[in-house]
Amino acid sequence: MQTSKWDAIIIGSGPAGLAAAQLLGRSRRRTLVLDSGSGRNRFAEHMHGVVGFDGAEPAALRARGRDEAAAYGVEFRSAEVATVRDRGDALEVVTRDASVRTRSLVVATGLTDVLPNVPGLRERWGLSVLHCPYCHGYEVRDQRLGVLVTSEAALHQAQLVRQLSERVTVFVGGARDAAGELVVPAVSLPDEVAHRLRARGVEVVADAAVVAFSGDELALEQIQLEDGRSIDVDAVFAAGAVVPHDGMLAGLELVRDETPFGSVIKVDQAGLTSHPRVWATGNVVTPMANVPMSLGSGTMTGAIVNWFLVEEDGERAVAAEYWETKYGGERVWSGRVNRVLEDVAATLPAGRALDLGCGEGADVLWLAARGWDATGIDLSSSAVARAQAAAAEAGVSGATFIAADVGDALEQLSGQEFDLVTASFFQSPVALARTAVLRTAAERIRPGGRLLLTSHAAPPAWAAERAGAGHGGAGHVGAGAGHGSAHFIQPDDELAALDLDPSGWEVEVAERRPREIAAPDGTPSTIDDSVVMLRRRGGERA
């Protein structure tokens, strides 16, 4: 399966999806649109109430919208999305042929109108069986019109249709399929609504269910009732049950809203769901929205998604500046291998290793010198340059360094597997999706391989002693915590945050381990490290 990373992926290329795509394309976002080609309004020959496109074919709007978005660099692929997985710093969108990753996702998949299985109804859908008086009503004005009330929520249609014609019949007695089963329940007409309809000359049929729609070929001429009566009509409005196309999001467990039209994903005014990287817009969350409303909501969503990406870009830039400043001056670390890694890796057969946040490369160089094919990743280009220079000076082969955001680098290494992934003091006072990155890296470990994490579990003993003596030792905790972070990680908390499936992972080490260090004044002291090592089940490695 191919894997790539996008700024935004949009599922669905109806009006909402195309509007979002155009905004993101114009914002120079790397945007991919995935569409299965089954738009809701594909059954309609024309669309109305769309300023500038009144009477145009829906396909014409789609084609023009695709061309406009493509001109801004938006890419389109024909695909049906099977599932979406949360990868923390990204989302994985899985289709039949590919797995693609994205920083943000816009769901504009629309819905399906599920029509009652009444003989003669479905084949006339979009022709003489209509769902929206605003979209199709004017074209059947002054004709003999019917309204099949399929639920209490559809009662408003009866009053809307009366504005289009003086010859209106409303059917509230339900409907049956060819086998006689009741597929549309009878709906009780409130006295106030019934009074209004009668006062305006609307005929109400409440004592018999509809059993068939008939006419010459696909024209509609009569509605048949179960008591043998026939009512002459030229067109009928019938609202089917709406089923949003959101099944691919089930694994994200998004919060939902219960509405008069059924269950939909809950979103805010800009389309943001309960997941910070997922937006939904158009009919998939607003079943009654017409084309202009979907265009407007898609435009708003596209703009807000771009702002989300702008903020994330800003956080990444601040992080890059911080670490480049830290490593851009004199050498930071001692050049000695981390003690925990030395103790652990000395017992393992050499293989492929990956070091996250490698700094100036001491751990990678140590592994490579012992036969490992070792790769180090760090955000600071200065740190990586220093590591590369050290490797060349020592004549160490098998050491590779990548200067990049760790999450982005893992994308570059997609498809590669490792026997050991290690992260020593992988913390940051600026933006770092630490847990998300570690979970992604864990996926790169082959069966039998290991994930080794070392963090400070407490401030150094000298800091605690000074704090107790009133020397303001707390102010030194950040420096002692490694990489400038004052957050101490306990083994159990590390395991809980990773939340790796125990059926696939075995915990080999989860402990606080003391280590000897020197205090700033040169006197001996100690510090407790949090050490967690997990082994991926399967494989033959020792």
Please state, in angstroms and rounded to a whole number, the distance separating the CA atoms of residues 33 and 202: 46
What digits encode the pLDDT tens for the residues 457-505? 988 888 766 554 433 322 222 323 333 444 789 999 999 999 999 999 9
Q: What percent of the chain has pLDDT over 90?
A: 68
* CA neighbor of 471 nearest in space, from 521, 526, 527: 521
What digits encode the pLDDT tens for the residues 353-404? 999 999 999 999 999 999 999 999 999 999 999 999 999 999 999 999 999 9
**pLDDT classification of 169: cutoffs 50, 70, 90:** very high
Please state, in angstroms and rounded to a whole number, the distance separating the CA atoms of residues 304 and 23: 10
Backbone φ and ψ for 495, nearest 5 degrees, come out as: -65, -40
Which residues have C-beta within 8 Å of that of residue 40, sequence separation ≥ 6?
Answer: 14, 110, 111, 112, 113, 283
What digits encode the pLDDT tens for the residues 127-166? 899 988 988 899 999 999 999 998 887 888 889 999 999 9
List the beta bridge partners of residue 258.
263
Q: How far is CA 322 from CA 87, 328, 329, 425, 452, in A?
A: 25, 10, 12, 16, 25
Question: Buried b / exposed e across 343-359, counting CB within 10 Å, b at 16+?
Answer: ebbeebebbbbbbbbbb
Q: What pLDDT is attached to residue 401?
A: 96
- pTM for the model stands at 0.82
Write the DSSP symbol of residue 286: -
Residue 14 confidence (pLDDT) above 50: yes
DSSP string for residues in 346-367: TTS---EEEEET-TTSHHHHHH
Q: What pLDDT is attached to residue 264?
A: 95
| Low-confidence winner among 238-242, 264-268, 293-297 (lowest mean pLDDT) | 238-242
Helix, strand and coil percent figures for the chain, each rounded to 5? 30, 30, 40
Which comes out higher in pLDDT, residue 241 or 265?
265
Residue 44 confidence (pLDDT) above 70: no
Which comes out higher in pLDDT, residue 87 or 171?
171
Please state, in angstroms and rounded to a whole number, the distance separating the CA atoms of residues 53 and 31: 26
Write the DSSP symbol of residue 2: B
**pLDDT classification of 67: cutoffs 50, 70, 90:** very high
Which comes out higher in pLDDT, residue 526 or 331?
526
Give yes or no for a contact between 109 and 12, defined as CB atoms under 8 angstroms apart: yes
Look up residue 318 and give its two tokens. 């601040």
Please state, in angstroms and rounded to a whole number, the distance separating the CA atoms of residues 430 and 484: 9
* CA neighbor of 5 nearest in space, from 93, 82, 133: 93
In this prediction, residues 344-350 reach a mean pLDDT of 91
Q: What pLDDT is attached to residue 3?
A: 44
Largest separation between any pair of C-alpha atoms in the chain = 103
* CA neighbor of 376 nearest in space, from 314, 430, 333: 333
